[in-house]
Amino acid sequence: MAARLSLDSLLGQARDNHPELLKLRTEQAQLDIERRYRQEMLKPKLNISGNLLAGRRDPFVYVNPRYDFNFSNYKVGLDFALPLFLREERGKLREVKIKQTELQYGLQQTGRVLQTGVQSSFNEVKGYQSQVELQTRNVESQRVLLRAELQKFELGESNLFLINTRETKLIDMEVKKAELESKFQKSIAEVYYRAGNRVALQGNN
């Protein structure tokens, strides 16, 4: 399991897909939309309108040229508005920009915290992996010693006390190994959790 773990991959997952960062990026996108809207509110408004005053209903009916369909029978309107007092609009835009700055700092800080957490958990995984491997070798060595003690007992060169001592020590070592393996598996779950990889975590349960 640990052999398949890649620190770079976990850090990339945390950076790109962690729910906390995705949430902050969504808020960032919403603020960007609001900022553009507030900027549009500061721009002058220009409206152009046109209405036909009179025209032919029947092309075969005579109409006085004065009222006939031509450019002079159109009414064109041009409305230009420039807000004079923009204190409220500018204030809202400034407020949005401040929120964006604060959110950007929060995004960077959260990213650093997550990266540090992944790094710490990954180091813990590697530490437990080394301990499990060492304890596995110790257990195997103790089994060899126990078998040797049993052979000596068969030859009359040992006694039950020494055999029981070897067996008790082997049991203690196996218990310690089981405890380390449990902590090792928990540390793997922890590093996936810190990386925000819920799918991989569920797949290993």
Q: Which tens digits make up the pLDDT trace of 59-75?
A: 555 555 555 545 445 55
Q: How far apart are CA 46 and CA 68, in angstroms?
A: 30
Residue 23's pLDDT band (cuts 50, 70, 90): very high
What is the enclosing helix (H) or strand (E) of 117? helix 87-154
pLDDT higher than 70, residue 43: yes
**What are the structural domains of the chain?**
2-41+85-203 (1.20.1600.10), 45-81 (no CATH)
Q: What is the pLDDT of residues 145-182, one digit of tens each?
A: 999 999 999 999 989 999 999 999 999 999 999 999 99
Residue 87's pLDDT band (cuts 50, 70, 90): confident
Structure tokens at 48: 């152009």
pTM for the whole thing?
Answer: 0.71
Q: Label residues 126-162 b or e (16+ Cβ within 10 Å = b).
A: bebbebbeebeebbeebeeebeebeeeeeeeebeeeb
Q: How far apart are CA 30 and CA 19, in angstroms?
A: 17
pLDDT higher than 80, residue 194: yes
Asked whether 27 and 109 are in contact (CB, 8 A), the reply is no
Angle at 174 between CA 172 and CA 175, to 5 degrees: 65
Q: How far apart are CA 150 and CA 144, in angstroms?
A: 10
